[in-house]
Chain A
């Protein structure tokens, strides 16, 4: 059997030392009537070679980015992962360790957490960061709980429709049994309408959650949203795209009190949706309400600088039901990958990556819209994603035909936005070449010609 050591002689010696006749006896504390009494109904064991062959067969029934050209986005993106990230992420001293409860045996992990926190604060323009949460959506829900607790306002939180629908759904699930109501406000032209927001936000509002750039890819007037939010005494929670901060203002710079993000794009694969990296940063005044692990610098008994987990009185293992959150794990390995990724990019690399996303996505949008069938659904400026309206309202057929030609061309929006049933969301990262973009445009327009020209016999 694969990973245990005990030979029959070992077992005998161990059982003698225990004073047990057999291994079965060790399970005597389980009442006999509760025992399974049969084998689990699972497939028989595979050797490593057979496993490898089986997994290859399963994998061959998938079409990953690389086999198809990926223009899908909506919170998960096909960004480039430098080799150095995989090299460091594969160090088993990192990936086979656990939460650094024993600081002396975990200085590597603890310093990485400290460096990660430092990079995230630089990235967001906020004072403090935790050592990571599960993903962007659950981080947004945790931020909402923080805001409710910090403001003492239990009335409502406001989420515009331009916030990722799955983030809105997650927030709603987290708040389902609490007093606070989630108020969804409509958007105008793909962005928050200041008038609608002004009417919705009041002295019972704990927070407004603003995604920048938003789910549709549009750049919001964050300063205006912040002004309206703060006028009512509510907190601004920003959901940001880490890559966008190479060109866009940082959440802290436009007044966000808490900033959260999906951070898988910083060096971790799309992996069909997880595991991902929940980034969270906030103002100093909110740090004791923050969920999750936090590393801090201190000195040891010899006076040497070192790192420890700190402010643990917020956490479940100390405070139990009074903790700020039930979160126990962080996403240490992905925080490490993000740290390496950001170090590898540096300020110029981040700016250039962001700029490539911006230039290429705008080129793609323009090229598509040169065809009469397509138009941009919203006029607002975009960063790396945009919504295309199909004037023929045959999005599913269109995307299906693009897929047949090797393009994951976009995400239909009708499932979340019935009024956008004729629209799809397209994301363009730095990985997409001009040839791929031109190919996409040509494929979509050809598909369109085939559909729009009646067949002649």
Chain B
């Protein structure tokens, strides 16, 4: 049960003279700071951090934690985010001192076990994607997109080709066009048909010799496998372009089909989604990428190599794009993904996808009688329902339903994405949910659609907070507690 007194801001809990940490006495001969540092560089007093005790800190943050929904407490069918169960064995693995307490610049002979694990991860990612080279460096999915686009740019520069465009379907994640722009490309939108597939005529009209890369999400954000995938890849390749696969939806196809086998030249993974590293309230994730052989020379360095039974870091890629961050990569996330892959094996990973797709189709079969699912009767790991009819008939929006679901103890699906479906509600149950949970969710969804519109407009009713004023937040931004005292 939450206690709201201790969830006041830390600055409100602060009293001068309180403290939590005691540091050891200085055991070396101590000198006056003024003798060690130039006075113009030093601060006369430390930053005005709050002064609180350790019991206060614990009560404050534990109470705050109870104000979240999470995978460990609730069904969290947030489409595109793959909110699956986060195994506790993964957490224990990443916390082992033999991994957690390694400095990134240690000599290779002191990190052979770490490098062995990372080498295996490169191999596993390559095998699962069907792409023969891997960089573990990118820190997140979008970072992987950017990295791969920079790899593509270096490749074309090396060929002496000046290509300026990246094609992105209109139902892609916003990160795709944003990554293209950051990599120096012009992002060109390709339409999708009402079925949710790439519009082949529109693609043909936009595909020219200036296209460097086509980014595609497959299965798509609508949870559909692109039927023209091979054809799209062939056409892009015929014009000298490359295919980038947004790997956000790999949870649908593990061991069933591989992007490298349908013409993808590059892809990223989201290990925090597909391979169960937790989402951490928004991160950290990781964004390793795999590429075809001819792009391998351009990958960021270092790459882990195995020579005889020894592992080494290879910095010697003369054509590398360089670095996209410091040090090796988000290793802690990769250790968790390693634990996940090793405890599943090839059959277990396939079963993950089978159950994810079974659960999604089952939920779809229950939901489509309540809310239309414009793009069909079947799906892969997720589907997009639409509240558009309900909005027209009763004035109930996707947002109303999302908020009301919270009252019934369910996290909301992703709403208003993709933009191609009006009043979109994107549901991804994942494999780690039971039929009972899916039944209960469908029943609640049905009950909500029968409820009074006014009740829904004001939902949620049971949470401590309801319908924050987002316009005010954006127009009169209060982003720190210092700004708070200015505002008052």
Contact = CB atoms under 8 A, between A and B. Distances in A.
B117 interface: yes
Nearest to B281: A332
Contacts of A169: 322-323
Interface stretch (A129-137, A199-207, A369-377, A445-453): A129-137
Contacts of A88: 57-58, 61-62, 65
A311 to B, nearest CB: 6
Given A34-B257, A34-B261, A317-B417, A19 B365 contact: yes
Interface in A92-112: 92-109, 111-112
Contacts of B366: 17
Which of B111, B182, B431, B434 counts the most chain A CB atoms within 10 A? B182
A356 B146 CA distance: 40
Which of A96, A249, A354 counts the most chain B CB atoms within 10 A? A96
The 6 closest A-B pairs by CB, nearest first: A59-B98, A273-B327, A177-B184, A45-B345, A61-B113, A333-B280
A92 B71 CA distance: 8
Given A109-B281, A343-B20, A433-B27, A35 B431 contact: no
A1 interface: yes
A94 B229 CA distance: 38
A216 interface: no
Given A62-B113, A64-B97, A434-B27, A118 B482 contact: yes
A115 B280 CA distance: 17
Given A34-B230, A62-B113, A134-B143, A40 B350 contact: yes
Contacts of A39: 255, 346-347, 350
Contact of B67 (A107, A316, A362): A107
B411 to A, nearest CB: 6
Interface residues of B, number: 203
24 contacts: A6-B359, A56-B98, A58-B117, A62-B114, A75-B327, A92-B72, A93-B73, A101-B78, A104-B467, A106-B69, A107-B67, A114-B9, A115-B9, A118-B10, A118-B481, A131-B282, A249-B40, A262-B326, A272-B104, A316-B177, A319-B178, A321-B181, A328-B142, A354-B46
A322 B181 contact: yes
A93 B146 contact: no
B46 A351 contact: yes
Which of B18, B47, B469 counts the most chain A CB atoms within 10 A? B47
Contacts of B358: 6, 11, 14-15, 18, 23, 26
A94 B65 contact: yes
B328 A95 contact: no
A10 interface: yes
Contact of A122 (B48, B112, B127, B262): B48
B205 interface: no
Contacts of B332: 269, 271, 274-275
B281 A99 contact: yes
Contacts, number: 690
B339 interface: yes
A367 B346 CA distance: 56
Interface residues of A, number: 207
Contacts of A132: 283
A247 B31 CA distance: 14
Contacts of A363: 28-29
A187 interface: no
Interface in B164-196: 173-175, 177-185, 187
A205 B11 CA distance: 39
Interface in A243-301: 245-250, 253, 262, 269-276, 287, 293-301
Interface stretch (A229-237, A334-342, A387-395): A334-342
Interface string B265-281: 00000000000101111
Contact of A26 (B10, B145, B357, B417): B357
Given A14-B435, A329-B282, A300 B468 contact: yes
A272 B473 contact: no
Interface in A347-400: 347-356, 358-360, 362-363, 381, 383, 399-400
A96 B71 contact: yes
Which of A17, A108, A433 counts the most chain B CB atoms within 10 A? A108
